[in-house]
């Protein structure tokens, strides 16, 4: 079959998804006061759609290795955040990390529940939404059991006039994909 540009264009729905049409919604632990809940939609300027890997291991039979599916694992997740002059998101993430492991003695705040798992109070769900060009939600991902693990430096320099930004690395238990009108089976059972 010969290559046809018109066939390609007719199969590329609405001209393809745009990487700039997204938002991130951060939820914070209730122990953090005055959280900038709505700001994350505007100030998280870069992130990724999550990756995951299904591992494998070898089972040997008569000297021959047979690949067997293993467990799914999830990489850490990065966000790039614009810093406004009140440092709202930065301060909230610093407080979150301090409640997990405070600076002086590296102890966890007694305000956080000691239980682990998805219901631990230091873990929250973060939502990443990809939008269509008409503004409708195309697809979303929920990062379940998420918490910040690393906060990057903010560069200060008299020779620049750029707006400050920094990155935050997140760990999470798993992610679940879905759309507004169509929930995956595993997501509908979680509700």
The answer to whether residue 59 is domain-embedded is no
When mean pLDDT is compared across 1-5, 6-10, 79-83, the lowest value belongs to 1-5
The answer to whether residue 10 is domain-embedded is no
- Classify residue 77 as exposed, middle or buried by CB count within 10 Å of its CB (0-12, 13-18, 19+): buried
Q: Would you state the pLDDT for residue 148? A: 97
CA 79 to chain centre: 7
pLDDT tens per residue, range 114-134: 567 666 888 999 999 999 999
pLDDT greater than 50 at residue 183: no
Q: Would you state the pLDDT for residue 2? A: 62
The answer to whether residue 61 is domain-embedded is no
The answer to whether residue 130 is domain-embedded is yes
Phi, psi of 34 (to 5 degrees): 55, 50
- pTM, two decimals, is 0.80
Higher pLDDT, 140 or 14: 140
Range of the domain at 86: 18-52+66-190
When mean pLDDT is compared across 7-21, 57-71, 111-125, 164-178, the lowest value belongs to 111-125
The total number of structural domains in the chain stands at: 1
Contact 48, 78 (CB under 8 A): yes
Q: Would you state the pLDDT for residue 38? A: 81
The answer to whether residue 39 is domain-embedded is yes
CATH of residue 143's domain is 2.30.110.20
Give the pLDDT mean for 96-125. Answer: 77
Contact 171, 149 (CB under 8 A): yes
pLDDT greater than 60 at residue 189: no
* Cβ count within 10 A of residue 39: 17
The answer to whether residue 5 is domain-embedded is no
Question: pLDDT band for position 185 (50/70/90)?
Answer: very low
The answer to whether residue 73 is domain-embedded is yes
């Amino acid at each position: 079959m010969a290559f046809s540009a018109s066939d390609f264009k007719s199969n590329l729905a609405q001209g393809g998804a745009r990487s700039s049409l997204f938002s991130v919604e951060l939820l914070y632990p209730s122990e953090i006061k005055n959280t900038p809940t709505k700001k994350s939609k505007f100030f998280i300027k870069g992130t990724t759609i999550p990756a995951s890997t299904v591992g494998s291991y070898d089972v040997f039979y008569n000297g021959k290795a047979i690949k067997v599916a293993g467990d799914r694992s999830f990489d850490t997740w990065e966000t790039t955040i614009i810093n406004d002059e009140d440092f709202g998101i930065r301060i909230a993430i610093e407080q979150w990390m301090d409640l997990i492991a405070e600076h002086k003695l590296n102890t966890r705040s007694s305000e956080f529940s000691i239980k682990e798992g998805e219901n631990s109070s230091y873990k929250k769900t973060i939502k990443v939404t990809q939008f269509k060009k008409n503004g409708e939600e195309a697809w979303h991902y929920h990062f379940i059991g998420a918490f910040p693990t690393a906060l990057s430096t903010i560069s200060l320099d008299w020779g620049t006039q750029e707006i400050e930004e920094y990155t935050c690395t997140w760990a999470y238990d798993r992610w679940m994909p879905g759309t507004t009108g169509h929930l995956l089976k595993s997501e509908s059972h979680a509700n």
